[in-house]
Amino acid sequence: MTAALDTDTALGKPIRRKEDAHLLHGQTNWTDNIQLPGTVHMAILRSPMAHAKITKLDVSGALKQPGVVAAYGAKELGELNGGVPCVWPVTDDIKMPAFPALAIDKVRQVGDCVAVVLATSVAAAVDALDAIEVSYETLPAVTDMEAALTSGSALVHDEIETNACYVYKMPCGDYEASRAKADVVVARRFINQRLIPTFMEPRSVVAAPMGMSDEITIWSSTQIPHVLRVLLALVTGIPENNLRVIAPDVGGGFGGKLQCYREEILVTNLAKKLGRPVKWTETRSENMVATHHGRDQIQDIEIAATKDGKILGLKVTLLANMGAYLQIITPGVPLLGMFMYPAIYKMDSYDFTCTGVFTNKTPTDAYRGAGRPEATYAIERIIDELAAEIGMEPMELRKKNWITHEEFPYTTVAGLTYDTGNYEAATEKALAMFDYDGLRAEQARRRASGDPVQLGIGISTFTEMCGLAPSRTLGALKYVAGGWEHCTVRALPTGKIEVVTGTSPHGQGHETAWSQIASSILGVPVEDIEVIHSDTGRSPYGMDTYGSRSLAVGGQAIKAASERLVEKARLIAAHQLECSAADLEFVNGSFHVKGDPSKSQALGAVAFEAFTAHNLPPGVEPTLQAEATIDPEDFSYPHGTHLAAMEVDTETGQVKLRKYVCVDDVGIQVNPMIVEGQVHGGVAQGIAQALFEGAEYDEDGNLLTASLADYLIPSAADLPSFDTGTTVTPSTSHPLGTKGVGEAGAIASTPAIINGIVDALRHLGVNDVAMPASPQTVWRTIQAAKAGAK
């Protein structure tokens, strides 16, 4: 017997967030707020060179500076100079060069750590960096992926004798046969530019030996306290049981805090060595070079189709920039995209090849969507190009090829089985909200009149795989961990509930949403439920928060643990009420004897009985708690239709977003207010990739966009409001019917914007525009098209 989800509960309501009170009053616990007595502050001497030999390094001068406690280069640090781990060796023959926390003999990126100073104040530590003597012999920087793969290129890592990290192939069906049958083959090269995650709270880490035991407590602004604990134990050799990792208030992550960073390794090892708290907080300028970047792929994509628009096959050849080193899942990010290039479309064949390439740039890794935004961008762009090539309305082409709702569950050419979806319903709703026909008519009028401001309409009909992940699938992909999630639910003797989760929120509102799930099963008010998270001392088991997994996977564990708790409580209640367990029904937090409304016992009373244990049934242990560790049956597949209308000034290149409509299907929604907020933020980040952001390097490997003055993340004045809608097609592979939502907006929105710009300018001969589509880029694209047409 399981407790049914009561639809008349907190589940599905836009409950205001529990998290907000402390955040709105500045009663926050960011890692940088932690000021322990005796703390020494770490400052880092970083490489100003992209590629150089370290010909001299002498830290002794720093030791003479006021307030300095210690200073280390790689030589002085010796075996405490731990290596940054990579847990995703995607092929058997992948090249995995060492990544020591402090560079040994050579630097390979601007921002590489060369030496550290520890002092009694941040200012003293930073000042003393100037007293370190260091000199470099410049080596040629590898900055271009294609050049990196040519023979004779300088090598990022001499010892592996190549800049190719790995080649991964996934042939599905016979693409050459599809190509031979096709009437039309359209090929494009898209550049999915390098982005910087730019969460608002800079990274910070404090490690402290706790004195009364061998425990070292590490507070870190991380998305992954549980995974970090395991990795730090492996890297530092400190027994895992002596490490406690806490992620206190964490100010955003977007994948950028899904990492075991060199600074976390250094701070942990130095706290142990010095026997006192060590703290490091990055400056924003450090963040831009030293926090991992995202995207950075050259995408060659080819689509084969019949002349009436039936897609036959797809070929994708990627160059994926690893940067200078491999971090936690650097090589695997393109593979998360690999499965998604066929997207919502039916086809006979799909051929995928990805080459990972080392360059002298900051390492790449997960950034909101991690591989799927790149895939969605390429497929949604090439669909529009195919539509233009065969003269078909782009939405009609999509409808002709997408999986219809009757065809689910559907196994795609890439081998994934999508459980559910209804692309027709989401699209129909989006088209109605958007006034698609009206805007097409306006577009035709502007075209006809030769208006210098043209209207563009951009489409993105997307799906994604999220809810990382079934452990067996991760194992098959050579990922060195599982994808399960844990929850313990405790009913305290005073009637309060503790939900202990292994997810680790950094803005997503888990405290509120998880309370809603537990409340809907336990019948206990949301305000009587406390969600405990992000502390390996208080929530010992977990796989943390990334890949839109927290609800999709963690939510299942909360449901299962809550139901198990109810079943244990039922045995106790039956004993108290002198009836059989089968005669009890559990409604609104109380057990009632069927047919005898006078006999009932509330869950809180049962919890008290379990606490006193004076009168428990035989074989039932004291205390009322239950746990569940759930491995998801499959990924979840949110989908949606995003439509953007924009005015493109053909004389200035300025793109003005006029309307953005999206209808997302994320399955059952636990809190629609939070869902909508996640979509807003994701859409904004995707729009930012299309219009504003790009990490630019010069040919010497210097990051030119190394501050918030140079790297343009949009302000309120740069964005419109968004029209959001939803359809609800419950996931059948997840017991709550939920899917993920954290990344959906960022995955969907980028191609909608670029498709819209191209749509506005296609009559001028434009068939692509580079990202970010700044006014200058758009203007130059128009000029080049005009020159080409002459």
The footprint of another protein (CB under 8 A) covers 16-17, 19-21, 23-28, 30, 32-33, 35, 122-123, 198-202, 249-252, 254, 283-285, 506-509, 673-674, 676-677, 680-685, 707-709, 713, 715-717, 719, 721-722, 745
Work out how close the CB of 81 gets to another protein at its nearest, in angstroms, rounded to a whole number.
Answer: 28
Contacts of 713 (CB under 8 A, 6+ apart): 198, 688, 692, 693
Residue nearer to another protein on the CB measure, 88 or 462:
462
Q: How many CB atoms lie within 10 A of CB 434?
A: 24
Tokens of 267: 């701070």
Work out how close the CB of 119 gets to another protein at its nearest, in angstroms, rounded to a whole number.
Answer: 14
Residue 554 carries which DSSP code?
I
Residue nearer to another protein on the CB measure, 99 or 254:
254
The residues that bridge with 466 in the sheet, in sequence order, are: 636
Residue nearer to another protein on the CB measure, 7 or 27:
27
Residue nearer to another protein on the CB measure, 720 or 735:
720
* Distance from C-alpha of 100 to C-alpha of 767, rounded to nearest angstrom: 45
Work out how close the CB of 749 gets to another protein at its nearest, in angstroms, rounded to a whole number.
Answer: 10
Contacts of 130 (CB under 8 A, 6+ apart): none
Residue nearer to another protein on the CB measure, 225 or 251:
251
Q: What is the largest CA-CA distance in the chain?
A: 93
Residue 730: exposure state from Cβ atoms within 10 A (0-12, 13-18, ≥19):
middle
Work out how close the CB of 368 gets to another protein at its nearest, in angstroms, rounded to a whole number.
Answer: 10
Residue nearer to another protein on the CB measure, 331 or 373:
373
Asked whether the CA dihedral 387, 770, 315, 430 is positive or negative, the reply is: negative
Cα pseudo-dihedral 685, 689, 690, 694, rounded to 10: 150
Residue nearer to another protein on the CB measure, 199 or 339:
199
Work out how close the CB of 617 gets to another protein at its nearest, in angstroms, rounded to a whole number.
Answer: 45
Tokens of 404: 């219809």
380 neighbors 402 (Cβ within 8 angstroms): no
The residue to which tokens 């402290």 are assigned? 208
Residue nearer to another protein on the CB measure, 213 or 721:
721
Residue nearer to another protein on the CB measure, 700 or 718:
718
Q: Which of 326, 250, 359 is nearest to 29 (CA)?
A: 250
Residue nearer to another protein on the CB measure, 35 or 150:
35
* Distance from C-alpha of 235 to C-alpha of 350, rounded to nearest angstrom: 39
Work out how close the CB of 123 gets to another protein at its nearest, in angstroms, rounded to a whole number.
Answer: 7
SS3 state of residue 649: strand
Work out how close the CB of 633 gets to another protein at its nearest, in angstroms, rounded to a whole number.
Answer: 29
Phi, psi torsion values for 777, nearest 5 degrees: -65, -45
Question: What pairing do the DSSP bridges indicate for beta strands 113-119 and 68-73?
Answer: antiparallel
The residues that bridge with 249 in the sheet, in sequence order, are: 30
The residue to which tokens 């969605």 are assigned? 376
* Distance from C-alpha of 696 to C-alpha of 710, rounded to nearest angstrom: 10
Work out how close the CB of 32 gets to another protein at its nearest, in angstroms, rounded to a whole number.
Answer: 7
* Distance from C-alpha of 505 to C-alpha of 507, rounded to nearest angstrom: 6
Work out how close the CB of 695 gets to another protein at its nearest, in angstroms, rounded to a whole number.
Answer: 16
Work out how close the CB of 153 gets to another protein at its nearest, in angstroms, rounded to a whole number.
Answer: 35
